[in-house]
Amino acid sequence: MVYVNQVGAQDELVFDGASMVMSPEGSLQHMSKRFQEDISIVDTNQPVHDYGYEALCEDHDSYKNMIEAMKLGLKDYLAKTGIQDVVIGISGGIDSALSLYIMAQVVSPEHIHAIYMPTRFNSDESWTLSQQLTQNL
Per-residue confidence (pLDDT) for residue 52, from 0 to 100: 57
Per-residue confidence (pLDDT) for residue 49, from 0 to 100: 62
Per-residue confidence (pLDDT) for residue 87, from 0 to 100: 95
Per-residue confidence (pLDDT) for residue 59, from 0 to 100: 58
Per-residue confidence (pLDDT) for residue 36, from 0 to 100: 87
Per-residue confidence (pLDDT) for residue 83, from 0 to 100: 95
Amino acid at 64: K
Residues 48 and 40: their CA atoms lie apart, in Å, by 16
Low-confidence spans in the chain with pLDDT less than 70: 47-60
Q: Where are the domains of the chain?
A: 1-60, 84-137
Buried b or exposed e, range 101-127, using 16+ CB within 10 angstroms: ebbbebbeeeebebebeeeeeeeeebe
Per-residue confidence (pLDDT) for residue 106, from 0 to 100: 94
